[in-house]
Structure 1
C-alpha cells in the first residue's frame, strides 16, 4: 500500500521453497539483462537508451529505421508462436526471474498480459511450477485468469487477463466518495473469490490491497485477486495444514508467527486487515520495528480510535473483530463472512456517511511516510554495514524469544 511497502519473508524452513518473484518490483539493473532496452511505453513506441542523433540530421528520417530495428530485434527474443499470435506492446513489470509485458491479440485486438519466466534457473523453474499449479485450476470471475501457456526449453510464457483498472486504494482516493456500502460491495467480490479458492484447497497466503486490482477503469468494474506467487494448493482429502512462514509482515496471521501448522484461515485474517484499512485508510497493526509489529499481531492489539471510526457502524466493527481473532478456530470462514449481516445487507442499515476524506487523507499520509522512510533508508544504507548486521541479529534473537514465549502461551 503505497511506496516502499516491502515484502519480507520470515525465515522459511530449508526444505520448503518460497516463490520470491513478486510483481512489479523496481528494476535495479542486471549486467546480462536481455530486456534492458525495452522500456515501458505505449503501442510500438518502444524506446531505448540510445543517444539522440546529431542536431544537423533530420530526426524523422534518421530515427524511424533504428526504432523499427530495435522493436524487431526485441520481438525476435520471443518465441515465434507467441509473436505470431500477439503484438508485444509494453513492459509493465519486472521480477528477479520474470518480466510482464502488455500484449494485444492480433485477431481480436483484446489486451492481455504475458508473464515470461526464465526456467533455465532453478528458482525460476520452481516459481513457474508453483504458480501454474494454482492458475491452471482456477476459473472465477474475481480471480485473474490464465489464458494459455507457451513453453520452451529456457522459458515459459504465461498469457493472462490484463487488469487495467488499477489498485483498490488508488481507485478509492480518485473516486471522491466512499461509504460502507461501497466497502461491502468490494469485500463481497473478494470473499467470493477467496471462498472459491478455499473450496479448491488453495490458500493465497499473500492477500493485501496491492493484489486486489480492478479489471477496467469503469465504475462498474469487478475486483480481481492477483499474484499467486506464495499460494499453496492442497489436494482433496489433504489435511490442509501448512508450515511455511511467509507473507507480508503487516498481514501475517498470529499462528504463522508462532510457527504452528496453519490452515486457510490465514487468508481470513488478512481480509480482516484489508477491511480495517478499507474503512479507515490506516493499518490495524503497524510499527517500523518488526518485533513490536509482531507483538501487536500476536496480541491482536488494535483500536478504533481517530477518524473516521466514530462514523463507522458497530456492525462493520463486528465484522472486522470476527476476522482479526487471534485463535484461528474462532475466526470467520469465507462463507461465514459472506453471511455476516453487514455484508448481506450491503450496509443498508449502516452509516451512509461519506468516509472518503478521512480515508484518502490517511492513505496519502501513509504513502508519503513510507516513501520518506524508503528514501531515508536508501541514503544511509552505505554507512550501516557492521552495525546493521549486529542490530539485525539482535532483532532476530528478540523475535525468536518472543515467538517462543507466545508459542508456549498459545499451547496452553
Structure 2
C-alpha cells in the first residue's frame, strides 16, 4: 500500500505497489488542493489522503481503501478516480492507535467502529493525529455566527465574530451547502485554492476554512460598505474623481492576479466591495467562484463560457480560447457603467446583446458623457477593444493618461461632487448579482430609449 499523503508533502513522492495506487496518485497531482503559501488563522486546513487497508469487522478480511480527510469530513473510495462510497462527519468521533501494530480504530456514531491498517506505524500515527485534529474542527469552537447578510444560489453569508476576545474584527462567514453544489464542487475547491494563494490590499482575504460532510464554511474579510452595484443603484454614478480612486485599486489587484496566472472571469461592480460606507472608496475585489489559473501568465488556455452575460467579451461569446484579457473587458464595461449608469451594449434580450457586443462600435451617447474627459473615453475604447490582442493589459491600463494626468481630480471627494442622474435616465441594466452564470438581468430598450430601474427584468440564459 502507498503512504498517506498530506498537502504539505511533495506530490511527486514515490508510490509503492499497486496499479490503482499509481493512477490515484496521478489524479491527485492534477487536482487543486487547499495547500498554499498563505496560512490560515488556525493552521493549514490540510487535506489528508492516501491508501489504507480496511480490516473487516467480523471475518477480518482485508481490502484496500482510499481515504480522504478534508476538514472534519472523511470520505472512503474504492479508487480515488471514482465517487466516494461514503462521507461522514468526524466531529462526534474518536480515534486511537492499536499499539504494536500498524492499525488504528475510528469509533463513529454513524458507522460504528472502523478499523484500518496503514503502511507502517509512522503513517498510522499521522492518520491518528490528522483525525484527532479533525474531530475538533468545529466552527462554533472558534467563531460566533450572527445574522444573514447575503444569499447566493448555493450559499448563505452570515456576520461572524471570533470567540477570542483579543480579536475584535468582524467576519463574513460564507456557508456553502455541498449537497446543493453537486457537480460544481470543482469551482468551490478552486475558489478556495486561489483565495488562499493571494494576498493583496485590494482583494478580500480568506481567514479560515471549516468543512463537514454537508457544509463548507469559509471565514472571509468583512466589508460593511457593501458592493458598488448596490451603492449606485440607490444613489448615483461615480464622478471621474471617485472612479479614478476606485479603478486604480481594482487594476492594481487585477495586475497582481494576472502576474500570478489567475484570471477572475467575473469582473463586475457587484464584486467590488467597499471596505466601509465612507467616501474614502477603498475597494476590494471579491468572489473567485469562477476564477481559473493558467500554467503561465501568458498562456491563453481557457474556453468555457462562464461569467455574467452583460460583461462577457466577444472572444468568450464566440467560444474562442481566452486569457486574462477577459477581465480587462469586464473592467471596461464596469467603468462605463459606473460613470454613466448604463451599459454600452444593452438590448432587449441576451441574443441581441451578444450580437451588439460582437459587432457594434463603442458609443458615448447622452448628456452624461459631455462632462466626461477625453482621457476617460480613450481608456474605455482601449479596454473595450474587441480584439483581445489589442486590448490593454492591467499594467498598461494603470499607466494610462487618465490615471496620470487627472491628479487634480483627487483633491475634492465631497458629496457635492456626486453626479446625480435622474432615475428615468439611468439603467442598472444587465448586471446580475447571482452566483450562477445561468442568471442574467436584462434591461428592455423601447424605441432606443433608456429604461428606468423599475423596468429591469430577469431572463434565463
Q: Which residue of 2 aligns with 1:97?
A: 154
Do the aligned partners of 1:300 and 1:325 also contact (CA within 8 Å) in 2?
no
**Residues 171 and 279 of structure 1: CA distance in aligned 2, closer, same or farther (over 3 Å):** same
Do the aligned partners of 1:206 and 1:247 also contact (CA within 8 Å) in 2?
yes
Aligned residue among 248, 253, 270 for 1:210: 270
Aligned residue among 165, 171, 174 for 1:112: 171
1:87 is the counterpart of 2:150: no
Unmatched runs of 5 consecutive residues or more in structure 1: 1-78, 378-391, 397-412
Decide which structure has greater helix share: 1
**Residues 105 and 266 of structure 1: CA distance in aligned 2, closer, same or farther (over 3 Å):** same
Secondary structure of 1:157's partner?
strand
Matches within 5 A, 1:245-324: 245-324=305-384
Q: Which residue of 2 aligns with 1:356?
A: 419
Q: Distance in 2 between matches of 1:114 and 1:202?
A: 24
- What count of residue pairs does the alignment treat as equivalent? 300
Q: Distance in 2 between matches of 1:170 and 1:101?
A: 18
Q: Distance in 1 between matches of 2:392 and 2:354?
A: 22
Q: Which residue of 2 aligns with 1:17?
A: none
Do the aligned partners of 1:117 and 1:124 also contact (CA within 8 Å) in 2?
no
Deviation string for 1:361-381 (max 9, x for gaps)?
644675984544438x8xxxx
Q: Distance in 1 between matches of 2:353 and 2:229?
A: 23
Deviation string for 1:260-317 (max 9, x for gaps)?
1111101101111111112111110111222211111001433111121111111110
Q: Distance in 1 between matches of 2:350 and 2:251?
A: 29
Aligned residue among 133, 138, 146 for 2:193: 133
Decide which structure has greater strand share: 2
Q: Distance in 2 between matches of 1:241 and 1:347?
A: 38
Q: Distance in 2 between matches of 1:303 and 1:355?
A: 23
**Residues 326 and 346 of structure 1: CA distance in aligned 2, closer, same or farther (over 3 Å):** same
Q: Distance in 2 between matches of 1:213 and 1:361?
A: 26
**Residues 348 and 232 of structure 1: CA distance in aligned 2, closer, same or farther (over 3 Å):** same
Secondary structure of 2:420's partner?
helix
Q: Which residue of 1 aligns with 2:303?
A: 243
Q: Distance in 1 between matches of 2:187 and 2:153?
A: 11
**Residues 290 and 178 of structure 1: CA distance in aligned 2, closer, same or farther (over 3 Å):** closer
**Residues 349 and 371 of structure 1: CA distance in aligned 2, closer, same or farther (over 3 Å):** closer
Q: Distance in 1 between matches of 2:289 and 2:329?
A: 19
- Determine which structure has greater relative contact order: mean sequence separation of CA pairs < 8 Å that are 6+ residues apart, divided by chain length: 1
TM-score (normalizing by structure 1): 0.66
Secondary structure of 1:224's partner?
strand
Deviation string for 1:63-118 (max 9, x for gaps)?
xxxxxxxxxxxxxxxx8721121111112233343222111112223110111223
**Rg (Cα) greater in structure:** 2
Q: Distance in 1 between matches of 2:364 and 2:272?
A: 24
**Residues 239 and 373 of structure 1: CA distance in aligned 2, closer, same or farther (over 3 Å):** closer
**Residues 213 and 221 of structure 1: CA distance in aligned 2, closer, same or farther (over 3 Å):** same
Shift of 1:142: 0.7
Shift of 1:169: 4.2
Secondary structure of 1:329's partner?
helix
**Residues 88 and 237 of structure 1: CA distance in aligned 2, closer, same or farther (over 3 Å):** closer
Q: Distance in 1 between matches of 2:208 and 2:320?
A: 37
**Residues 109 and 255 of structure 1: CA distance in aligned 2, closer, same or farther (over 3 Å):** same
Deviation string for 1:2-21 (max 9, x for gaps)?
xxxxxxxxxxxxxxxxxxxx
- With 140-149 and 216-225 compared, the bigger mean Cα shift is at 216-225
Do the aligned partners of 1:180 and 1:347 also contact (CA within 8 Å) in 2?
no
Q: Distance in 2 between matches of 1:217 and 1:102?
A: 17
Q: Which residue of 1 aligns with 2:457?
A: 374
Unmatched runs of 5 consecutive residues or more in structure 2: 1-135, 430-442, 444-450
Matches within 5 A, 1:1-400: 81-107=138-164, 108-120=167-179, 122-123=182-183, 125-172=185-232, 178-236=238-296, 239-346=299-406, 348=408, 354=417, 356-358=419-421, 362-363=425-426, 369=452, 371-374=454-457
Do the aligned partners of 2:173 and 2:220 also contact (CA within 8 Å) in 1?
yes
TM-score (normalizing by structure 2): 0.59
Q: Distance in 1 between matches of 2:322 and 2:345?
A: 20
Shift of 1:259: 1.1
Deviation string for 1:332-355 (max 9, x for gaps)?
0000000001112345389x9946
